Amino acid sequence: MAAEETGAGVTIVDPALEQQAKPLADSLIADKAASRLAAQDPTLWGTEAEAEAAIRLSWTTLHKSSRPLIGEIEALRTELRSEGVDRVVLAGMGGSSLAPEVITGTEGVALTVLDTTDPGQVADALAGDLERTVLVVSSKSGGTVETDSHRRIFAKAFSDNGIDAKRRIVVVTDPGSPLAELSEQEGYRKVFLADPHVGGRYSALTAFGLVPAGLAGADVARLLDQAAGVADQLAADSEANPAVRLAAALGARHAQNAEKVVFADTGSGIKGFGDWAEQLIAESTGKQGTGLLPVVVESPEAAGFADAGADATPVAVGHAAAPAQLSVTGPLGAQFLLWEFATALAGRLLGINPFDQPDVEAAKKAARALLDQPSTSDSGAKPSFTDGAIEGYGLDAADLREALKSFVDSATGAPSAYLAVQAYLDRLDDASAAVLRPQLAKKTGLQTTFGWGPRFLHSTGQYHKGGHPNGFFLQLTGAAEQDLDVPDRPYTLAGLQLAQALGDGQVLAEHGRPVLRLHFTDRAAGLAQLVAALEDLA
């Protein structure tokens, strides 16, 4: 095994931060927090969190308990391939897709991930070779509307193409979930029941991470080896424990109002690690008006990292590169476990329960209420302005430039603000929208996040509503060129997508968060217009 394959390391680059983190690390060590966490002690986060923590800690030993899954996954993969089925499509949101996406991306193995309600993106996945496709439907709760919609759409498409749908659907869910029951009724090919004592964002090394990635061809046994290689290190009540160091450093920075944690990859060899860590950190800590806000940037040279201000902590995933204050090294399986330990320990330092997500449900409820209305086409709301291919909502302005100026001025005038771009678009066909993150960050000097809707609702969405109340939200929605019916449901994907944007916008506004929504009546033209208007912003 190469050196990179064993262990994990956290370097606190800044000597001043090392000193500031020391008392927090000492308190974790004195309280034996790491060894108690490894032993699944639910009392670490106070009495209010205890009941939930008691059913959420099995992830600390998954490197052992998940072993039997490896053979099962391999057997199913061999069987499917012998039938000519070698294209894996995964339907799953948040913790039910982020880990498999990073695992397969890192190994260079193909996996089509559906964590969207964009009709164009789903239509593109349907247009792939269905004869060779297996759909993995992953949902812990078994009730997530996006995943249920994908299952319905694919089941119909298989049948319409003369393919036996039940032989092409594999399910990962918790025992007793509505999806587990339905799978039995429908006779789906195989149901992997996951450990219910692991929450979604800690589930990378359960069936949720391993089944889709393993079916796609990733070496998932190696991931467990990598996690096993750091397990003892992470359970040690010692200054050498990288999770203790990381939690203490993040806790110390949080105490200095540097709650934004900016991630840049510095050659870790892991693809998209920030997207996975984003959910873990934001959903675990962003509540009760506090938390750590992950900001994932494009490179160490990107705006937000290279010029990080006093309100941010730049973290290198990989070797230390200026101006990173922290660097975290280790192979993917080790980093999964390290960040889970560190996040749970940071939760103790921040005084929150790292296992609930109290503000996620509100947006789901608001979206459901909109879907129940006869028309989901904006509920009759009139744009405050129309400018070329863009309609603006939520802010009184004559045109796009005035709206952007007013939005950006309020954010730059507010203490310690951050901007969040929320793009309810197609993350493949409209991928260029991601340029808005560095562009806005550079223009405003503010930490700026970017999320694809509704994917981010299951990740940073918790923080946006429950975390520090200093966010300014730029929602982007777009006209759909084509739409898809959701079989046996009274809505289409485009209707659901818009209801999710409007529902979350409503909840953000109820929480006093400023929201500007820009709707592209023509996606490409609207995006080009927005980029140009931002460029001209003084």
Ligand X SMILES: O=P(O)(O)OC[C@H]1O[C@](O)(CO)[C@@H](O)[C@@H]1O
Which residues make up the interface to ligand X (CB under 6 A)? 93-96, 139-141, 144, 147, 200-201, 283, 357, 360, 458
**Least distance CB 136 / ligand X (angstroms):** 12
Token pair, residue 88, equals 């894996």
Spatial contact of 440 and 134, defined as CB atoms under 8 Å apart: no
For the CB of residue 98, give the shortest distance to ligand X in the complex, in Å: 8
Burial class for 248, CB neighbours closer than 10 Å (0-12, 13-18, 19+): buried
Residue 98 CB neighbours (<10 A)? 29
Least distance to ligand X from the beta carbon of 460, Å? Answer: 10
24 or 125: CB nearest ligand X: 125
Residue 323: is the preceding peptide bond cis (ω within 30°)? yes
Pick 280 or 337: Cβ nearer ligand X? 280
**Which residue lies nearest ligand X, judged by its C-beta?**
200
d(CA 22, CA 178): 47
CB of 520 to ligand X, least distance (A): 26
Report d(CA 529, CA 388) in Å as an integer.
8
Please say which residue, 376 or 500, places its beta carbon nearer to ligand X. Answer: 500
**175 or 309: whose CB is closer to ligand X?**
175
Minimum Å gap between C-beta 444 and ligand X is 28
Whichever of 189 and 458 has its CB closer to ligand X, that residue is: 458
304 conformational bin, left if phi > 0, alpha if psi -120 to 50, beta if neither = left
Shortest distance in whole angstroms from residue 509 CB to ligand X: 20
Nearer to ligand X, 151 or 253 (CB): 151
Strands 418-424 and 447-452: parallel
Is the CB of 61 or the CB of 141 nearer to ligand X?
141
Which residue, 20 or 206, is less far from ligand X as judged by CB? 206
Nearest to 131 by CA among 188, 84, 67: 84
Burial letters for 268-303: b for 16+ Cβ neighbours within 10 Å, e otherwise?
Answer: bebbbbbbbbbbbbbbbbbbeebbbbbbbbbebebb
Least spacing, CB of residue 62 vs ligand X, in Å = 16
**Amino acid code (one letter) for 318:** G
Name the minimum Å distance from CB 533 to ligand X. Answer: 32
CA distance 40 to 54: 8
SS3 164: coil
Q: Which amino acid is at 309?
A: G
